[in-house]
Structure 1
Amino acid sequence: YSKVNRDNETWTHQLELGWVKVTNLQPNTMYKDVLVPRDPLGKESDRQMALRILCSERSPVGGIAVKEHFEVVVIPLQIQITYHFYKILLAFFFPGETDEDDDVENKKKDKKEKDKKKKEAKKSKSSFYIDVDSEDIDKMRERAANNNTFVYVKIPEVSMRVSYKGEKEKNIEDIHDFSIILPTFEYHNRIWTWFDILMALKNDSKRLILSQAIKQKLHMRSRVGDETPLTDVQQEEDKMKMLLGAKLLVRHN
Structure 2
Amino acid sequence: MVACWVTFTGATLVACRGGLPARSQPMKLRILGCSGGIGGRASGTTAFLADDDILVDAGTGVGELELDELLRIDHVFVTHAHLDHIVSIPLLVDSVGELRDTPLTVYATAETIRMLRLHVFNWQIWPDFTTIPDCHRSYLRFHPVEPGHPIRLGARMVTPLPARHSVPTVAYCLDSGEGKLVYTGDTEYSTELIAAINALDHVRHLIVETAFPESQHGLALTARHLCPSLLHAMLDEIAGAPEVHIAHLKPGQCERIMGEIAAGAGRLHPVRLEQGMILEF
Which TM-score band (shorter chain)?
under 0.3
Q: TM (normalized to structure 1)?
A: 0.22
Report which of the two structures shows the higher radius of gyration computed on alpha carbons.
1
Higher relative contact order (CA 8 A, sep 6+): 2
Structure with more of its chain in helix, by fraction: 1
